[in-house]
Structure 1
Amino acid sequence: MSKSKNNPPQVAKPFLKWAGGKRGLIEQLFSKFPTEFNNYHEPFLGGGAVFFELYSRGMLKGKKAYLSDINSELINTYNVVKNNPSKLITNLQTCKENHNKEFYYQTRELDRSDNFKTLSKLERATRFIYL
């Protein structure tokens, strides 16, 4: 059964590269997965390669996915992607337009200043993806 042009398959891919990511191991990992499961629990989300692959293969339909990671900035970023994608895209476009060496280093240094505490969740997510 093929997909029509009006109903393209929903493909989701990681939007972050992550050290220790599982993207290159997907086929090996999936060969070990059970064919049926209830809900999906991901304790080491990182770039989300396994989650996005499960989603793209339709294996999460009707299931809940519990995504977690020890990195609070990463989890904040996923929440902003989920809840406020339009504003995030606008902010990232602004980063792209302002990108230069000075802008990059200023953005990188933000978490070392007291100003970091005043950034909104959206601003922190923008910074996280930009860097």
Structure 2
Amino acid sequence: MARPFLKWAGGKAKLAPAILAAAPPGLSRYVEPFAGAAAVFFAFAEARPGLSSLLNDANHELIETFTVLRDQPGSLSSALALLSSAYYARDPVARRDFYYEARSNPGATPLERAARFIFLNKTCYNGLFRVNSSGGFNVPHGRYKNPRILDENLLLACSRALQHAELRSEDFAETCTSARPGDFVYLDPPYHPLTATANFTGYTRADFGRADQLRLRDAFESLTARGVAAMLSNSDHEYVRGLYGGLGYRVRTVTMSRAINSRGSARSPIPELLIDNFERVGLRSPEGSAGRP
């Protein structure tokens, strides 16, 4: 069964069934401008085989990895098998050195970079993806005894799911602009921080600040004006509620846990917002009426 093959902060595996159930039944294409580990996409691929999809993410290395997996699953598995064997053949100290050597070598080909991307994701600290101001991956080595670097069956399932997906790495607003009536757009942006110290800004070289949250709201409004069904997740913060309140959107609170965090106390369930425009584009919402923040 296709499911995320990467560890990913803020992944939506637990929320995916609810998003899938709420999606319009006759959609012609699934569009995700912030793909991440693509948990919701893989849920759609399993439930609606052959559905056309458009996946985008600002993280070029991530999209390159998806592309290689879609087009060269056998070669990618072979490259990962070599990395896995080399890693396991070493003692703990040598494994750490091997990790930092791989981290410092970006790879010369898309295949090499994709294998490196997955290897680092499986062996780095807490499965995080973080880059410095120069765009270099800078997460330290993890402490896993036997990380599963290669899951060939899962990779093959994900490769099959990606056969019907167009893959892009561009600004989210461009992806939204290309959406049309009949599509279903799910947006899972970098969340607005709940506190001044909770912001995670290392996913790409550029931060996702308040100006980007405003651009996101405008893109959501544009989708609505064009009759495109859309749903959006974000933190349950008064700033976010203020952006979408009073516009006729249904705003719900859902509880999500955080599987990836350096502190166990920060993994407890927290409320998040799930916002959709179904009533504004003429679709009946599952509960039959729009919520209000």
Match of 2:75 among 66, 87, 95: 87
Q: What corresponds to 1:30 in structure 2? A: 20
DSSP-derived class of the 1:23 partner: coil
- Which of 100, 104, 110 in structure 1 is aligned with 2:105? 110
Listed as ranges, the gaps of 5+ residues in structure 1 are 1-10
Distance 1:34 1:64 in 2: 14
The alpha carbon displacement at 1:32 in A equals 2.3
Query: Per the alignment, in what secondary structure is the counterpart of residue 24 of structure 1?
Result: coil
Query: Equivalents in 2 of 1:73, 1:128: separation in Å?
Result: 7
Partner Cα distance (1:66, 1:103) in 2: 36
Does the aligned pair in 1 maintain the 2:4–2:42 contact within 8 Å?
yes
The CA deviation at 1:24 is: 1.5
**Residue from 17, 21, 34 that aligns with 1:44:** 34
Of Structure 1 and Structure 2, the greater strand share is in 2
Q: Which has the larger radius of gyration?
A: 2
Q: How is 1:12-27 mapped onto 2 (pairs within 5 angstroms)?
A: 12-27=2-17
Look up the match of 1:130: 119
Q: Which runs of 5+ in 2 are unaligned?
A: 88-94, 121-293
Q: 1:96 corresponds to which residue?
A: 84
1:92 maps to amino acid: L
CA offsets 1:54-100 (integer angstroms, 9 cap, x no match): 1111x243x32111100000000001001111111111001111112
Identity of aligned residues (%): 39
Report which of the two has the higher share of helix: 1
Write the distance in 2 (CA, Å) between the matches of 1:122 and 1:27.
32
State the superposition RMSD in angstroms.
1.4
Q: CA deviation at 1:28?
A: 2.5
CA contact (8 A) 2:29 2:53 kept: yes
| Deviates most, 27-36 or 97-106 | 27-36
- What is the identity, as a one-letter code, of the residue corresponding to 1:52? F
Amino acid at match of 1:65: S
Q: Deviation of residue 31 (structure 1)? A: 3.4
* Code of the aligned partner of 1:109: S
Higher RCO (CA < 8 A, seq sep 6+)? 1
